[in-house]
Chain A
Amino acid sequence: MSRHQLGEFEEIVLLTVGILYREAYGVAILDEIERRQNRTVSIGALQTVLRRLEDKGYLTSQFGEATNVRGGKRKRYFALTTLGSRVLRETQEQRAEMFKAIPRLAFPKS
């Protein structure tokens, strides 16, 4: 087992950052989660998770350009680190293995 345990929301944020690739900053991540998962997320919730993931070393970030629409404030772009992508992959593999381990009979006939 890995030491790295991801919470459900953490996993989604990591995935979204990955999906957006070079465009992953606050508002974009919010929009993407909202589009794909059909759930609204507050900036507060997202930002705390982003910082936590960054502290754990799964994400890295850098400032981008400032735009007018942001009141002259720069964007902070997030990107997956190697550790981040490995943790994400491990999580996916664990899930897949566990899914495979479910006996066929356990699934109710649909």
Chain B
Amino acid sequence: MKHHLPITPPEFFLRFFRWFCDPVLAEDIEGDLTEIFQRQVAAGHSKKARFHFSINVLRLFRPGIIKNFSLPSFNNSAPMFRNYFLTSMRSLLRSKGFSIINITGLAVGLATFSLISFYVYHELSFDRYHANADRIFRIVENLRTENELLLQGVSSPPMGPRMKKDFPEVESYVRFQRWNLLAERKGVSFYEPDSYIVDSTVFDIFSFPLLKGDKKTALREPFSIVLTESMAKRYFGDEDPVGQMIKMDYDNFTVTGVMADVKANSHFTFTNLISFSTWSRNNKDNEDRAWFWNGFNTYLLLHDAQSVEKVRAKMKDFLEKNIEKGGMYYEDLPLQPLPSIYMAEQRSWENGTRGNMNNIYVLSIIAVFILLIACFNYINLATARASRRLKEVGLRKTLGAMRRMLIAQFLGESIIVAFLASCFAALLAWVALPAFRTLVESPLSLEILPNPWFVMAGAVALVLFIGLLAGAYPALIISGFQPQQIFRPSVKGIYSHHNFRKVLVTTQFIISIMLVAGTWLVQDQLTLVRSQNLGFAKDATLIAKTNGDTAIVRHLDAVKNELMRVKGVVAVTGSNTVPGQSTTNQYTEIEMVDGKLSPTNINYIFVDHDFLTTYQIGMLAGRDFSRNVKADDTAAYIINETAMKDFGWTTEQAIGKKVHHGRGNGQIVGVVKDFNYRSLHQKVEPLMLALTTYVGRLSIHIESDDMPATIDRVQKKWSELIPYLPFEYTFLDEDFDREYKADQQLGKVSAVFTGLAIVIACLGLLGLTSFSVERRTKEIGIRKVLGATVTSVVLLIVHEFVWLILLALVVATPLTWFFIERWEQNFTLQAAINPLRFISAGMVVFTIAWLTISFLSFRAANANPTKALRTD
């Protein structure tokens, strides 16, 4: 006989058979199967044998052979579930303290989570409400100039019409240009900075509902204007504005329609729309040929969303065919899908505020963290207190309960807790919503939510998920108790989950420390940025809009002198823009070291003679503009340090270099020290200063102890001088800080939620400690009888948490370090990460935890030991 390994039936099918077969039948059928198998093997067909075996097993999988899988039949399971519910409620009510901790923790977690989800949903919902959202694309520019590539959010007037002509995929286009107008009707006058001229196709492309007027004709004729509801209300009250006149700057416009206000989740907003023909009838030439007039926003409507690829593929040819390639040319004209604009990387000249994907990530992480902490509390408390359910579980098992029914019971219990928590959370969220709106500075109107059933379904799913997440582990543990443990409660069997709890508590500490240290470091960075010397005086300066008012332009010096006479005003200057606001980028030719003129695009601020002194910007070389040199008005230029270095000049070389610009040819007379005319998110770019009398802003520098009174006096003077122009002002430093709005918001929001996270974590710690104290009542009593001091008893309880916090600190530090370092990349100037912050964060968390714990431990340690020992 040959000796080889016996050929065995296929293991998988054998196991499958053993699993499903009725145990009464299993033995002899398996014998039959094996006999046939062996017979075929003996005949030399081992492959066939295995195959037949499998087939036979499959054919045995039929009623009559399969064992009875159904649960032992309960004729009526309702009483059972009623009993489960009852015991769950009793158990919740028996330990009110723990239930309150659990439910409150979960509720705060859920409320936070839903508020943040709402905010995130809002941020991601931008522009999706347009019916054509997926077919609308914004034309943006990658403009190559002599020394840089400019990524601009704008486009020029001929682009839209030409693309429609050249690309069959383009169905329609619409162009917007923002005008800042002063509106006036019957003595009611305001600036309307968000006025736009727009092509009449706007209502076909975007889903802006026109409430009154005809969308075909409303924006056809010159000097037609469509008002939003709120603007109509502002000037016309309850009158019907359609057909009436409103004055905008110097022209009268006919109101041809009223539309709903632009929704808050739009990437740009406006208060009124003016017919494009108002502008184009006098600018036919520009409309057709000004390929580099980048003052417009053009949106294309494509026939279908997919054809964007085709258009993109043809863009290169389009550019070559239509636009002359000069010193400045378009490298590309990318098309941004409408819903992506809000969150896209910011380009220059954006037409509205943009979201910040980083903040969305950070907030989402915080939301999940908080929810996790709350779930961990539940898991910890439920497993810690599992032994209390030992008798119940033992009895149930003795009476024939199966493990999975017990699991179901305890899962049900956690779902009940989650449900109660969610009711409480809904209430909390509702109460906190207004405060949350202020915190994130977003209107968060409920109307952006999808239909209520969807929201309800989401909420139910969340409750179930949380219930299962928090309940799964305790349910497994508790249902695993063996009945005899009631009589032999081996310590190991019941309390062996200590390590798991430690992991969870440590995780909570890690999260808390990360949040505290992170918030701190964010604040550090923001403080650094805000206290940074920007190179100019930004405090106590009022910025008043003049909107290029002709009277002011004509009598600039007189107006300035009058304002200077107001008590408290120390300096006044006019300029087209102020630091912190957008500059204009203009085509200029500048003489290089080799004497040749080189074309370039450079940022301009147009100022008057007092600009540098008012803003206290230091000179590096040369001189300031002078009233004594008449030629300065058109022929003098001052550059900043960066520009000088960029052109490769020394301070001596810079002075006297020729500059050719549309307003007149001249030369550089001075170099100023760099000042941050934008935010510290951007590097200081080359800058050119030139004189103008066309001022859009008056900067009024005040030195006074009583700011409000001074402002009142300025206002009074203003209304004497220019009664028809509203005195609208902002503070320069506040404007400038607005550049960091998103960052500050992040700082504020994370501070608030860090607090919440710590509160929830402490709730859990409180529960855990009180349980551990309760369990050790006797131990503490005996220790005290034997002479232990209060301190030593407190330390006994506290010491195990100290290690956990230290461990958490070690884990949290590198994680936080990594994230903060990445976030700081957003700034040109980074605060050094201060390691002390981590120590302090650890200390804060430790102190709070310690206070929580010692509160209970002291009570236990101070209790009379006889009481503890008499309880049996």
A residues whose Cβ falls under 8 Å from a Cβ of B: 25-27, 30, 42-45, 47-48, 51-52, 63, 66, 69-71, 73-76
Contacts and interface: CB of A to CB of B under 8 A. Distances in A.
Contact of B31 (A30, A44, A45, A74): A74
Contact of B62 (A48, A66, A71): A48
Contacts of A48: 62-65
Contacts of A47: 25, 29, 32, 60, 64-65
Nearest to B59: A44
A48 B62 CA distance: 8
Given A45-B59, A51-B25, A75 B64 contact: no
B38 interface: yes
A42 B33 CA distance: 10
B30 interface: yes
Given A69-B38, A74-B27, A26 B65 contact: no
Nearest to B32: A26
Given A48-B62, A48-B64, A51-B25, A43 B36 contact: yes
A43 B56 CA distance: 6
B146 interface: no
Contacts of B55: 42
A70 B64 contact: no
A106 B65 CA distance: 45
A47 B56 CA distance: 11
Contact of A71 (B31, B60, B65): B31
A42 to B, nearest CB: 4
B288 interface: no
B201 interface: no
Contacts of B30: 71, 73
B28 interface: yes
Q: B interface, by DSSP: helix, strand, loop or mixed?
A: helix
B34 interface: yes
A70 B25 contact: no
Contacts of B65: 44, 47-48, 51
Contacts of A51: 25, 64-65
Chain A contact surface mostly: helix
Contacts of B39: 69
Contacts of B56: 42-44
What is the interface residue range for chain B against chain A?
A: 20 to 34
Contact of A44 (B28, B36, B60): B60
B28 A63 contact: yes
B36 A27 contact: yes
B35 interface: yes
Contacts of A26: 28-29, 31-32, 35
24 contacts: A26-B32, A27-B36, A30-B32, A30-B36, A43-B29, A43-B32, A43-B59, A44-B56, A44-B59, A45-B59, A47-B32, A47-B65, A48-B62, A51-B25, A51-B64, A52-B64, A69-B34, A70-B34, A70-B38, A71-B30, A71-B34, A73-B30, A76-B28, A76-B31
Contacts of A25: 28, 32
A45 B59 CA distance: 8
Contacts of A70: 31-32, 34-35, 38
B49 to A, nearest CB: 13
A70 B62 CA distance: 23
* Best-surrounded residue of B32, B38, B63 (most CB of chain A within 10 A): B32
Contacts of A76: 27-28, 31
Contacts of A27: 32, 35-36
Interface string B350-371: 0000000000000000000000
A104 B59 CA distance: 45
Nearest to B56: A43
Contact of A73 (B28, B36, B60, B63): B28
A45 B25 CA distance: 14
B31 A42 contact: no
Contacts of B60: 42-44, 47
B31 A75 contact: yes
Nearest to A73: B31
A69 B56 CA distance: 18
A27 B36 CA distance: 7
B28 A74 contact: yes
A52 B25 CA distance: 12
Interface string B1-37: 0000000000000000000000001011111111110
Nearest to B27: A73
Nearest to A26: B32
A70 B25 CA distance: 15
A21 B35 CA distance: 20
Given A27-B36, A44-B61, A48-B64, 11 more contacts: A42-B56, A42-B59, A43-B29, A44-B56, A44-B62, A45-B59, A51-B64, A70-B32, A70-B35, A71-B34, A76-B28
Contacts of A43: 29, 32-33, 36, 56, 59-60
Contacts of B33: 43
B845 to A, nearest CB: 64
A48 B65 CA distance: 7
Contacts of A52: 64
Nearest to A49: B64
A74 B62 CA distance: 23
A59 to B, nearest CB: 13
Contacts of A75: 28, 31
A52 B304 CA distance: 66
Contacts of A73: 27-28, 30-31, 34
Contacts of A45: 59
Contacts of A74: 27-28, 31
Contacts of A30: 32, 36
A66 B28 CA distance: 10
Contacts of A63: 27-28
A52 B62 CA distance: 13
A42 B52 CA distance: 10
A42 B56 CA distance: 7
The 3 closest A-B pairs by CB, nearest first: A73-B31, A26-B32, A76-B28
Nearest to B28: A76
B422 to A, nearest CB: 51
A44 B25 CA distance: 12
Contacts of B34: 69-71, 73
A72 to B, nearest CB: 8
Nearest to B38: A69
Contacts of B29: 26, 43, 47
Contacts of B36: 27, 30, 43
A42 B64 CA distance: 14
Contacts of B25: 47, 51
Contacts of A42: 55-56, 59-60
B28 A69 contact: no
B43 to A, nearest CB: 13
Contacts of B31: 26, 66, 70-71, 73-76
